[in-house]
Amino acid sequence: MRETGPRTALEAVTWPRLLLSWWPWRSLAYLLSTLPLGVVAGALVAVPAVLLATGWAAGSLEPGTAVALIALELLLVVGFGPWFAHALAATERRRLRWVDSRPMPERRRLIGGWVDGGADGASAGRNPVLARYADPATWREVGWLLLLSTAAPAVSAAALLLGLLVGLYAVSPLVLLAQRPGDGPVALGPWSVSTVAESVPFAAAGIVLLPVVGYVWTVVAGGLADVARRLLVGAESEVRAELVEVSRSRARLADAFDAERRRIERDLHDGAQQRLVSLTLQLGLARLDVPPDSPAGRSLASAHDQAKELMTELRELIQGIQPQTLTDLGLPAALGELADRSPVPVHVDAALDSRPEPKVEYTAYFVVSEALANVAKHVGAAGTARVTVRHAGGGTRAGTLTVEVTDDGPGGADPARGTGLAGLADRVAVMGGRMLLSSPPGGPTTVRAELPCGPDGVL
């Protein structure tokens, strides 16, 4: 299996191939682009705060001026901040792709307001301004605006200056060699050198520290991106994305299980069952050549009977794995055959205009089979059951295949008592459906499964 690389800059820090990859350079681009964005954000947020701090430090700030600057700061942050932060947040979401390859849900316009990309539109129909101020995502964006105008540019500038200083250390001998006679010493941070010999230790230190700069850039860019993602996406969207992935993985496991089940059924039907049929025929022919009252005749008769019983059991096993009637004739015919085999009298009412998708069809059959098995186990032959199957919707709309199994037993069914109902609910949930149970003491008991389908019953 091919190894997959890191998805984020923070994950790339522990990657052995970091310095040979594009992650340090992508992190450098992210840090460089943070500076102009910080200037833009600071123009809105930091100017009144800087004036206020400067005036207080100088001791020349009048009380009226201080109140005006504070009011201006509040007006900018609370009044214009949500609208300005939204524009910067949209830019940040696109910029995050440089250091974070995970999907980033966009905020979408919804009748004048904005909600997170995965929201259900609960804010629709409200006043656009009130919807903006009531949206928690708005204030997360304002939080990122404040961070972008203060700490983010400072941290980015420090990481960039470190890289610049280390790079200057590494090339300091070349800088001195390129100088004209009479030029002054070269400043290397708090130190200065005037000859190539003096610059050699700094060059060696710079060369040694160059890989460290790549890690520093990646760590700083990854940390800023992680904070930005948490503010702009929010915990709800992360959890929602994880739940979607869990649902998809569960569906993939169900598909793999169905494929394996069909393979086992095909191997049993085409292999073991055909060989057993051939063996049964050979034993039957052998009985004709041996006197029935002889010891060999009695042994052949016993073997022949056991082979026929085994063939019956194998046929029932194959029928339970993948009913051939369900594959060939569809759900109504398969349910009718299931009702005929049930020890409990069962009436089947299955009116379908078209066949559902195979896995929906089999899930419905599985629900009915398990429900009738529970009826036979807990109600007995004295009871009766009714199976109703309907498909609601169709055309251009998504429909729902509804399956109901009702019996006239004593009721009181409880999934916690191990009646198989919990397993049924899990199987239905894999298909994105739901299962409902009504079983009051005294009965009747109704098991209802709702399975989502596509247009005309096809998923």
**Residue in 336, 271, 282 with CA at minimum distance from that of residue 307:** 282
Task: Decide if 31 is inside a domain.
Answer: yes
Residue 338 and residue 392 share a domain: yes
Greater confidence (410 vs 65) lies with 410
* pLDDT at 215 (0 to 100): 94
Confidence (pLDDT) at 374: 82
Joined tokens for residue 104: 């980033």
CA atoms of 289 and 435, how far apart (whole Å): 58
pLDDT in tens, 232-253: 875 444 555 555 555 565 566 6
Res 5: pLDDT: 75
pTM for the full predicted model: 0.50
pLDDT at residue 112 in the model: 40
Same structural domain for residues 351 and 305? no
Same domain, 139 and 196: yes
Q: How far apart, in Å, are the Cα atoms of 73 and each of 48, 83, 137?
A: 6, 15, 21
Amino acid letter, residue 305: D
Write down the pLDDT at residue 76.
Answer: 65
Domain count, the chain: 3
Confidence bin at 111 (pLDDT 50/70/90): very low
pLDDT of residue 2: 41
Q: Are residues 126 and 227 in the same domain?
A: yes
Domain with 36, as residue range(s), is: 9-237
pLDDT bucket at 146, cuts 50 / 70 / 90:
confident
At residue 34 the predicted structure's pLDDT band, cuts being 50, 70 and 90, is: very high
Q: Same domain, yes or no, for 169 and 198?
A: yes
Query: Within a domain: residue 437?
Result: yes
Q: Is 230 or 159 the better-scoring residue by pLDDT? A: 159
Using an 8 Å Cβ cutoff, are 365 and 336 in contact?
A: no
- Over residues 217-237, the pLDDT tens digits come to 999 999 999 988 888 875 444
| Mean pLDDT, all residues of the chain | 75
d(CA 225, CA 310): 65
> For residue 103, is it within any domain?
yes
Distance, CA of 223 to chain centre: 23
Q: 168, 188 in Cβ contact below 8 A? A: yes
Average pLDDT over residues 298-314: 75
Taking the mean position of all CA atoms in its chain, how far away is CA 211? 36
Position 3 in a domain = no
Average the pLDDT over 254-279 and give the result: 66
Does residue 155 share a domain with residue 35? yes
Among 205, 237, 269, the domain boundary falls at 237
Of the candidates 212, 237, 262, which is a domain's last residue?
237
Q: In terms of domains, do 343 and 310 share one?
A: no
209 & 184 share domain: yes
Say if 1 falls within a structural domain.
no
> In this structure, are 42 and 125 located in the same domain?
yes
- pLDDT at residue 284, as a whole number: 78
Domain match, 313 and 337 both: no
Tell me the C-alpha distance between 413 and 444, whole Å.
10
Which CATH number fits the domain that encloses residue 398? 3.30.565.10
Task: Work out the average pLDDT over 196-225.
Answer: 90
Asked, for residue 229, whether it belongs to a domain, the answer is yes
Average pLDDT over residues 116-127: 44
Q: In terms of domains, do 311 and 256 share one?
A: yes
Where a domain ends, among 281, 300, 320?
320
In this predicted model, what pLDDT tens digit does every residue of 36-81 receive, in sequence order?
A: 988 887 776 666 666 556 666 666 666 666 666 666 666 666 666 6
Q: What is the per-residue pLDDT for 117?
A: 44
Residue 242 falls inside a structural domain: no
Residue 314 to residues 164, 282, 411: CA-CA distances in angstroms?
A: 77, 18, 34
Q: Is 51 among the domain residues?
A: yes
Q: Which of 16-30, 57-71, 434-448 has the lowest mean pLDDT?
A: 57-71
Asked if 147 and 184 sit in the same domain, the reply is yes
CA 59/CA 55 separation, integer angstroms? 6
Q: Which two tokens stand for residue 415?
A: 């999934």
